[in-house]
């Protein structure tokens, strides 16, 4: 069929975009909203329980700071390779993405180890009382998000090594990095609530 004057040739347009123009970006935003609302609910339950106790935490000292503070500092440092991964993805530099996404994934593994040590050093069992249940719920919910993103980061790392990398895959790497920002921000919030609220009261 011959082209008409009103026809528009879109064949030269890219089949991927970075940021809000990409469908995957909005899928990630939706996931962050879901997880964020979940965290707000468990943190809300934490503050709901707080006035019903004469001391907080009840019958226990405040949770120890060493492993938790180490985790927060490492989470903040993990933004360096994460941001550099995004830059290389937007430049579509395969070697750059390969290096920095592996670095981000290794930071993620270190964070999982630190969170495990944090659990072991915690000041109360999850089934000891309402305080124990809600603080463990806050930490475990955030920990599940960390596991999810570390897994996704390793999957993307494997893909950029094992397959030809096109623009869509670079866009996926960018979307994954956005969720890592969410992990780091919520890590700081969880740390402040669980570790410093008992010290501020």
3 state DSSP class of 194: helix
Give the H/E segment covering residue 29. Answer: helix 23-49
pLDDT value of position 140 = 96
CA distance linking residue 22 with residue 20, whole number of Å: 5
- Tens of pLDDT along 184-199? 999 999 999 999 999 9
Burial zone of 47 (CB within 10 Å; 0-12 exposed, 13-18 middle, 19+ buried)? exposed
Please report whether residue 178 resides in a domain: yes
Residue 6 lies in a domain: no
Residue 126 forms part of a structural domain: yes
Contact in structure between 111 and 184 (CB atoms under 8 Å): no
Number of other CB atoms surrounding residue 69 within 10 Å = 14
- Residue with structure tokens 């809600």? 134
Q: For residues 24 and 158, give the distance between their C-alpha atoms in angstroms, rounded to a whole number.
A: 19
Cα–Cα nearest to 195, from 40, 51, 69: 69
CATH number of the domain encompassing residue 75: 1.20.120.80
Inside any domain, residue 123: yes
4 domain-assigned: no
pTM to 2 decimals?
0.87
Identify the domain containing residue 80 by its residue range: 23-55+64-200
Q: Could you give phi then psi for residue 8, rounded to 5 degrees?
A: -115, 130
- Average pLDDT for the chain: 89
Residue 129 has pLDDT above 80, yes or no: yes
Total of domains in the chain = 1
Q: Stretch 99-103: mean pLDDT, rounded? A: 96
Whether residue 41 is predicted with pLDDT greater than 70 in this model: the reply is yes
Max Cα–Cα distance, the chain, nearest Å: 82
C-alpha 195/C-alpha 198 separation (Å) is 6
For residue 17, tell me if it sits in a domain: no
């Amino acid at each position: 069929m011959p082209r008409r004057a009103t026809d528009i040739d879109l064949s030269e347009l890219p089949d991927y975009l970075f940021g809000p123009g990409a469908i995957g970006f909005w899928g990630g935003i939706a996931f962050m909203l879901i997880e964020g609302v979940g965290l707000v609910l468990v943190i809300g339950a934490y503050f709901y329980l707080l006035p019903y106790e004469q001391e907080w935490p009840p019958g226990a000292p405040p949770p120890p700071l060493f492993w938790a503070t180490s985790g927060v500092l490492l989470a903040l440092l993990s933004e360096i390779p994460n941001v550099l991964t995004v830059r290389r993805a937007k430049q579509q530099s395969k070697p750059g993405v390969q290096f920095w996404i592996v670095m981000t994934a290794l930071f993620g593994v270190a964070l999982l180890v630190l969170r495990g040590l944090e659990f072991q050093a915690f000041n109360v069992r999850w089934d000891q009382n309402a305080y124990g249940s809600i603080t463990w719920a806050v930490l475990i919910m955030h920990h599940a998000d960390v596991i999810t993103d570390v897994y996704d980061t390793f999957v993307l790392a494997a893909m950029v090594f094992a397959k030809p990398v096109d623009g869509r895959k670079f866009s996926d790497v960018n979307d994954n990095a956005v969720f890592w920002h969410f992990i780091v921000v919520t890590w700081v919030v969880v740390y402040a609530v669980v570790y410093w609220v008992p010290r501020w009261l």
